[in-house]
């Protein structure tokens, strides 16, 4: 019976997992386009979820720190059994102080009135929330960039596979033609052997591209927060990559749009609050308290609770550090120096962002030129191939000329795809450098 219960429990757990996983699958369309992938990743990528959890953790930490402003109420109780009752001497007489058994119950209320650390927590609460939200925004921007590049990379691989398959089709026909010519005695075996080698190499290229495509899908699944066994299918309908490559490289960088710069500004604000706190440490700590207690005493344990002796006190407490060995002065100077250090980091980051934009723009313009050149080369190589193919069929050109034209055509087509992906990738880099990546879908 125990074994049956264990088996039933395992089956139930498995069913629950499968249902949960199926629900996760339903949240992503069967044929997902780029917008849907980004939308899904912004809700499910592990780093984004972690950043959102950090926001919630930060809120709890802030609430925990600020809770010290509220009255702190505590109850305590003690029981003492005097093995030897303490004594004292009064007017030459030795008198016992207390009884064998005593119990004390106390309710204590403490209220902070002035506390530098609580003032700091109150001032920093809003800034810390902003810092946590900025961290989430940074993760969302990174997600959009990574998913977009991964999607375009897969789309490029799909197009490469099509080109290689078209190449295999042409080479297969050329091989068949060369073999037929050899069998009829028109040519020697060199032509069809060369065709066989070219065909084998093309099939090897197809195999390599297909295997790399599997990795690219797994990488995209990782970005989406999916398990590798998830059957991810992408939609490439209406994905005209050439229509998405334009970007205005004449724009000027607005440094305040960059999340990294805003994050460092927030860090500077927190450091300024810390500097203010170091000044507040010269203030006294002031609090109020009140308690109410009941004391029970009797030499007989069972009779000690027959009478209660109440007590209560209320008052104020003041703690003013007068000399701390110069610690407060050194901490204040250190905090000011840290502010100066962040100012230098802000200047350096601004320079880095401008350099990053300059590099991204340069890469984009260079890739655009490569793309335009490769696009022209595709048309030219196609024209050359068709011409040489006709001449070869008529016996004017050799098979070596046809192979060279075929190789040039395949190379120009693949170069065109690689250049197109490079343009799209560098366009995303330009948008990221400008701080214009859209994270709301």
- Where residue 7 falls among pLDDT bands split at 50, 70, 90? very low
State yes or no: pLDDT of 308 exceeds 50: yes
State yes or no: pLDDT of 17 exceeds 60: no
pLDDT at residue 24 in the model = 43
**Tens digits of residue pLDDT in 177-188:** 888 877 777 777
What is the pTM for the complete model shown? 0.82
Pairing of strands 72-81, 101-114: antiparallel
| Averaged pLDDT of the chain | 88
Last residue of a domain, one of 271, 300, 319: 319
State yes or no: pLDDT of 174 exceeds 90: no
How many Cα atoms within 13 Å fall on the side-chain side of residue 179?
11
312 in the same domain as 278: no
383 in the same domain as 264: yes
Give the pLDDT mean for 10-36.
58
151 in the same domain as 295: no
The distance in angstroms from the start CA to the end CA of the chain is 53
Give the pLDDT mean for 283-312.
91
- Residue 15 in any domain: the answer is no
- Residue 19 in any domain: the answer is no
331 in the same domain as 232: yes
pLDDT at residue 239 in the model = 60
375-378 contacts: CB < 8 A, separation 24 or more?
Answer: 375/416, 375/419, 377/412, 377/415, 377/416, 378/409, 378/412, 378/413, 378/416
Give the pLDDT mean for 60-72.
95
- Residue 12 in any domain: the answer is no
123 in the same domain as 151: yes
Total number of domains constituting the chain: 2
- Where residue 399 falls among pLDDT bands split at 50, 70, 90? confident
392 in the same domain as 272: yes
Distance CA 350, CA 355 (A): 9
Determine contact, residues 107/293, Cβ cutoff 8 Å. Answer: yes
- Residue 16 in any domain: the answer is no
Note down the domain range covering 92. Answer: 73-113+288-319
93 in the same domain as 240: no
216 in the same domain as 99: no
**Tens digits of residue pLDDT in 358-371:** 999 999 999 999 99
State yes or no: pLDDT of 8 exceeds 60: no
pLDDT at residue 23 in the model = 42
């Amino acid at each position: 019976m125990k074994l049956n219960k264990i088996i039933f429990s395992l089956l139930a757990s498995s069913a629950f997992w499968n249902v949960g996983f199926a629900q996760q699958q339903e949240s992503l369309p069967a044929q997902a386009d780029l917008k849907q992938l980004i939308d899904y990743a912004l809700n499910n990528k592990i780093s984004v979820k972690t950043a959102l959890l950090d926001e919630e953790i930060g809120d709890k930490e802030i609430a925990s720190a600020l809770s010290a402003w509220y009255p702190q109420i505590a109850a305590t109780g003690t029981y003492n059994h005097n093995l030897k009752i303490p004594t004292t001497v009064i007017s030459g007489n030795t008198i016992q102080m207390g009884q064998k058994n005593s119990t004390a119950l106390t309710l204590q209320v403490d209220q902070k009135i002035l506390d530098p650390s609580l003032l700091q927590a109150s001032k920093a609460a809003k800034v810390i929330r902003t810092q946590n939200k900025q961290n989430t925004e940074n993760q969302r921007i990174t997600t959009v960039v990574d998913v977009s590049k991964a999607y375009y990379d897969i789309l490029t691989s799909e197009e490469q596979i099509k080109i290689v398959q078209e190449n295999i089709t042409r080479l297969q026909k050329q091989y068949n033609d060369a073999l037929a010519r050899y069998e009829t005695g028109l040519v020697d075996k060199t032509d069809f052997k060369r065709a066989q080698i070219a065909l084998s190499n093309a099939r090897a290229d197809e195999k390599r591209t297909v295997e790399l495509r599997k990795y690219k899908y797994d990488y995209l699944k990782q970005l989406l927060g999916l398990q590798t066994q998830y059957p991810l299918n992408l939609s490439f309908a209406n994905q005209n990559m050439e229509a998405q490559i334009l970007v205005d490289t004449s724009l000027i960088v607005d440094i305040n749009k960059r999340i990294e710069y805003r994050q460092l500004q927030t860090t500077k604000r927190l450091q300024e609050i810390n500097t203010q706190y170091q000044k507040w440490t010269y203030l006294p700590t002031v609090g109020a308290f009140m308690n109410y207690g009941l004391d029970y005493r009797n030499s007989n344990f069972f009779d000690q609770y027959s009478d209660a002796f109440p007590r209560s006190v209320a008052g104020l407490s003041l703690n003013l550090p007068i000399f701390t060995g110069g610690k407060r002065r050194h901490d204040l100077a250190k905090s000011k120096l840290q502010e100066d250090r962040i100012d230098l980091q802000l200047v350096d980051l601004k320079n880095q962002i401008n350099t990053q934009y300059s590099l991204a723009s340069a890469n984009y313009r260079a890739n655009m030129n490569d793309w335009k050149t490769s696009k022209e080369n595709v048309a030219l190589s196609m024209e050359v191939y068709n011409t040489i193919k006709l001449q070869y069929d008529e016996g004017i050109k050799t098979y070596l000329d046809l192979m060279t034209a075929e190789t040039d055509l395949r190379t120009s087509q693949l170069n065109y795809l690689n250049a197109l992906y490079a343009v799209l990738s560098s366009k995303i880099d330009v948008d990221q450098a400008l701080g214009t990546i859209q994270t709301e879908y």
